[in-house]
Amino acid sequence: MKNQRVVIVGGASGLGLSVAKLMLADGAHSIALIDKNGPLLEETVGNLKAEGHTVFGAEGDITRKDSAHAVFAQALAQLGRVDCLVNSAAIYPRRPILEISDDEWDLENAVNIKGTYHMMVAAIEHMRSRPKVETHVAGRIVNITSVDAFKAHPQNAHYAATKAAVVSLTKSFAHEVAKDGILVNSVAPAGFATERAKKLGFLGELASANPLGRAAEPEEIAQWVLMMASERNTYATGENVIVSGGYIYA
């Protein structure tokens, strides 16, 4: 990631923060974290700056085009250019399939699908105007999907449906912007041990169903995001990489 400038959506905590830390350790020039939680974002940016990193924060709503493009523009202004976008923002409600309300569907779709879509469009509008480097790549986008797009779990239908949609969006975008030298891929983890996941209490169940006998640490998933986001990736596009410890095979 040497000298790369990166936008991470949903970067104030969880996997997004793990990706940011790994990229900075790998030599990223600067990172802009986008998040809707202003106080948490401010705290996270402050902690990373205290460690000597060049990190910015941009608070905003990604569920509507105008606000999503505005917050991306803010991040772009802070960075000067954007080499890579990582879409890690998502919500994960739990609800029995017969009890999901219209409001819950609307919010899930707005954040997980529309938010991802709006941020990709904003990034591509910037990246396609940039010259391709010697590897013929003008930019990279990595979306975080989930094994839930491929394997059913109780009380999870609306989340799983949105992640399946993001897998599809990834492929569609990759096909349309290949001519612009923009690589679009996704990483689909099984359950991993964020603080939020620990509080929800399902990691033990997933660990027992996993051939490796444990949930991944966020850093282990972040390594795959790093691979797809970095200059090491010069040819893969439209791919969805499943990182599940053998939980599913696809």
- Domain encompassing residue 90: 5-243
Q: Is 39 helix (H, G, I), strand (E, B) or coil?
A: helix
- Residue 122: phi and psi, rounded to 5, are -60, -45
pTM: 0.95
Task: Considering the candidates 92, 159, 235, 247, report the single residue annotated as catalytic.
Answer: 159
SS3 for 168-185, per residue? HHHHHHHHHHHHHCEEEE
Q: What is the pLDDT of residues 232-245, one digit of tens each?
A: 999 999 999 999 99
Domain count, the chain: 1
CATH number of the domain to which 180 belongs? 3.40.50.720
Let me know if residue 249 belongs to a domain. no
Model confidence band, residue 163 (pLDDT cutoffs 50, 70, 90) = very high
Q: Please, where are the H alpha helices in 65-217?
A: 65-79, 102-108, 116-127, 157-177, 195-200, 203-208
Instruction: State yes or no: pLDDT of 134 exceeds 70.
Output: no
Asked whether residue 59 is assigned to any structural domain, the reply reads: yes
7: nearest Cα among 170, 116, 102: 116
Q: Is 159 a catalytic residue?
A: yes
**How many Å apart are CA 169 and CA 190, to the nearest integer?**
20
Asked whether residue 57 is assigned to any structural domain, the reply reads yes
